[in-house]
Structure 1
């Protein structure tokens, strides 16, 4: 059994905010697997099989305790299924990565992400894998707390859809082939627009 936690906030007002991009990724994994979400303790969970038959058994988790207390939902599930930290993957938004970047990381500090902060507290360790989805630092004049709770803009929709698709691919690779393979295949993901090449000077 593997556990994949998408970080986010419950409620329709948060559904399309930057802070909930982790939920978008696990929703896509669930959709592909034809899974049905159900309530279990303080979370919504859905079980899927990914990879070639019989496939890896994966429990997808969306905490319903709000971001800052994510550990309250995840800690009991980790204990119930008797999982080691390396069997847990946390899909999170990342302010410090530009929008369009995707990367795996093992362990490390929370970097100001309060859901990760509470998971570290609840689990008593930093040594669990994370899949970071870049949402960029806020524009000038924006408070970071307001930025993470802001809605995606219409012009970001195409990149967001591709980022979520690749994020779901990354989750499936992690579950079936491990963290090292996930890092090798997805840590170079960069969907930012490429600069136009400079025009060649006119011939003299």
Structure 2
């Protein structure tokens, strides 16, 4: 397997700033990125006015023997793939991951992303599905068309009505960047064909996406964030194509079955 010694990934977690919007559906992208990077290194975020956001960088090394992380989700799903990983490694064994949390409101996210890319001379490739050593941009965002607990990668394309993605497309002048869409579910009227996606009188879609998760969803939140972190680890080290296939075939419920079990700490005899 061909591997590349040094690649960079810019991962952007979309959300609105301020306590008012913490733990709301629209901020799930921000929550997922913070969980992923905290899980892998307890990073320190730095507010950088020049890029209108908080940033950090973490150097990722893939090691299937790591006592904490060990096999990734692909290897846990298939013994055959695990054997192949041990024999051949992964395409991206070492990756510099740059995290960006825009401090702007959602619909101005593009200004932050563009400023960061200019400051760090990020150069995007034309197709996120192609394995090469170019820089990549991955945007983590909420998606109302996916049920809670489901995630989908998208290598490029339009905004799908997501205002943060729409502004990024405008500012970086291309649709050719990847997204991880995290399902937040939808109100019952949204799925009613008679409404054609339009809210009944007195109801607004904004109120739903800016609202807090339901109690049963909050109970599942840690599992969902662990699942998105597992998907992101596959993306970082194996690329968009492998991550896309994995996300299409799993959800948070199937992840629970394959998640690593925590080892009990060693104890000395009394």
TM-score (norm 2): 0.67
In 1, Cα distance between equivalents of 2:114 and 2:57 = 18
Give 3-state SS (helix, strand or coil) of 1:187's partner.
Answer: helix
Deviations 1:29-71 (A, max 9, x none): 2212121111122011121122327831101111001100000
In the alignment, which residue of structure 2 is the partner of 1:133?
Answer: 182
Q: Deviation of residue 192 (structure 1)?
A: 6.6
Structure 1 alignment gaps of length 5 or more: 194-204
Choose 1 or 2 for highest CA Rg: 2
Over 6 Å off, 4+ runs: none
Q: Which moved more, 1:157-166 or 1:174-183?
A: 157-166
The structure 2 residue matched to 1:89, chosen from 138, 156, 172, is: 138
Corresponding position of 1:61: 100
- The CA deviation at 1:128 is 0.4
Does structure 1 conserve the Cα–Cα contact (< 8 Å) formed by 2:227 and 2:252?
no
Aligned mate of 1:50, from 57, 60, 80: 60
Counterpart CA distance in 2 for 1:111 and 1:48 is 30
Calculate the TM-score normalised by the size of structure 1.
Answer: 0.88
Shift of 1:82: 2.1
> What displacement does 1:169 show?
1.7
TM-superposed CA distance for 1:127, in Å, is 0.7
**What is the CA deviation profile of residues 150-186 of structure 1, one whole-angstrom value per residue up to 9, with x for unaligned ones?**
0012211233221211111222221221101111222
Is the counterpart of residue 171 in structure 1 residue 236 in structure 2?
no
Pick closer, same or farther for the CA change 1:192–1:143 going to 2, 3 Å: farther
State the distance in 2 between where 1:178 and 1:192 align.
Answer: 23
Note if 1:30 corresponds to 2:69: no
Equivalent pairs, count: 193
* Aligned alpha-carbon RMSD (Å): 1.8
